[in-house]
Amino acid sequence: MTTQTRHHHGNLRPALISAGIDILEAEGISGLSLRKIAVRVGVSHAAPAHHFDGKIALLVAIAAEGFLIFSQMMEESRDKAAADPRSKLIGLCQGYLGFAAQHEALFELIFSTDVKNHADENLEKCSMQAFQLLQETCDLFEPSPHGNRSNAIMIWSLVHGYACLRANNKMVLFENETNTPLEMILPQMTPKTT
């Protein structure tokens, strides 16, 4: 009941995830260690082991949280956009790119091999939710003649690749077109008329 220092932290699991995100954003993936997280939360270096089955499991939990922020930014940006399908899609993609730019390390983490190779139910749920947003926004358009979902695959690939290449500074190869807006590279698709 009192707020004095207790032997039991009491809320350690979420605190570790939150501290992990902080360190991640400040120092990048390579600067993130279990022991640093433990110090920041004010707990012994072995404490995380009682809440996460190894470092990767903590990374996965952080990644799940990352997917939530990811979804949130995409949804918010889409909702702010005008009502027509193309504006909605561009808004969503701007959210995608915004997340990649503002949460560089987190973006790297959620698509990292470490995380992908560690099956986790909650992570699966959170990542599905993010891609569901993309899917349903693509569904505002007529399906491609090539198949129901090839629009979504194309858009997703396009915006993801664009985000990666921008993060890698590869776009500087294209001189001063560094900020090529989405409008230029998003292909024309026909909105549904329903």
Partner DNA sequence: AACCATAACTTTACAGTGTCAAGTTTGTTT
Partner DNA sequence: AAACAAACTTGACACTGTAAAGTTATGGTT
Residue from 76, 88, 74 nearest 191 by CA? 88
Q: What are phi and psi of 156, to 5 degrees?
A: -65, -45
Q: Which is nearer to a copy of itself, 16 or 163 (CB)?
A: 163
45 binds, among DNA, a copy of itself, none (CB under 5 to 8 A by kind): DNA
DSSP string, 42-71: TS-TTGGGGTSSSHHHHHHHHHHHHHHHHH
Distance separating alpha carbons of residues 97 and 90, to the nearest angstrom? 10
> Which one of DNA, a copy of itself, none interacts with residue 36, CB within 5 to 8 A by kind?
DNA
101 touches a copy of itself by CB under 8 A: no
Question: Residues 23, 67, 171, CA angle at the centre, nearest 5°?
Answer: 80
179 binds a copy of itself (CB under 8 A): no
| Binding residues vs a copy of itself (CB under 8 A) | 28-30, 104-105, 108, 111, 113-114, 116, 127-128, 131, 144, 146-147, 149-150, 152-154, 156-165, 167-171, 173-175, 177, 180, 183-185, 187
Interface ranges with DNA (CB under 7 A): 6-10, 12, 32-36, 38, 43-47, 49-51, 54-56
